[in-house]
Amino acid sequence: MKILRISKQTILRILISGLILNASLLLSAQTPVTFAGNWEIDHTKSDKEFKDYNITCMIEQTSETMTVTQDFHLNEGQISSLHPITFNLSGKEVSKEEEGGIDKITAVLSPNKKTLTTKYVRTMNGSDYGSMTIYMLSADGKTLTVKSSDLKNESPMIQVYNRK
């Protein structure tokens, strides 16, 4: 039987390489990709309905909530901002009475935390109307796709954003 001789320096290099690999795996596992950040619309990938607007989407996210604000920069230099909307990430429905109707909002975060499906329903005078919106992060977290539609999932509109 032949015994291989490995120098102490080679053993040390192997150990250090293993430690560096383990440390990099731990660090990448500890920095999850989130929706949080500032996003700018990509007109080349978004539906044509958004071509006249430079849209920025600002998202704040905690383990329990996600708040989305959108600014529309008009060609004349004006900025129009939508009211921030906050989603409860637990999947529970949030209901509030407002301006003669009842608003119900639900949000379900996928197990991999890269897709958020939201539903907004306003009940007023016995009728329901509203929208469904799906926020989808790319695998690398650099692209956000937002698909919005009515409650019947008809006439969907797509906005694609790049992380700023």
**pLDDT for res 7:** 60
The predicted-structure confidence for 45-95, as pLDDT tens digits, reads as follows 999 988 878 999 999 999 999 999 999 887 777 888 888 999 999 888 989
**pLDDT for res 33:** 77
Token pair recorded at residue 152: 């019947």
Return d(Cα 63, Cα 87) in angstroms, integer: 11
**pLDDT for res 155:** 84
Q: Tell which wins on pLDDT, 6 or 97.
A: 97
Residue from 109, 110, 106 nearest 120 by CA? 106
User: Do the beta carbons of residue 51 and residue 43 sit within 8 Å?
Assistant: yes
pTM assigned to the model: 0.77
Determine what percent of the chain is predicted with pLDDT higher than 90. 50
Place of tokens 């499906």: 117
How would residue 32 be classed by pLDDT, with cut points 50, 70 and 90? Answer: low
Angle at 36 between CA 35 and CA 37, to 5 degrees: 115
Residue from 86, 31, 81, 89 nearest 57 by CA? 81
User: What structural domains does the chain harbor?
Assistant: 37-163 (2.40.128.20)
**pLDDT for res 21:** 45
* Pick from 16-20, 96-100, 114-118: least confident: 16-20
Query: Would you say residue 14 has pLDDT above 60?
Result: no
Concatenating the DSSP letter of every residue in 48-105 gives: GGGTT-EEEEEEEE-SSEEEEEEEEE-TTS-EEEPPPEEEETTS--EEEEETTEEEEE
The predicted-structure confidence for 101-114, as pLDDT tens digits, reads as follows 898 999 999 999 99
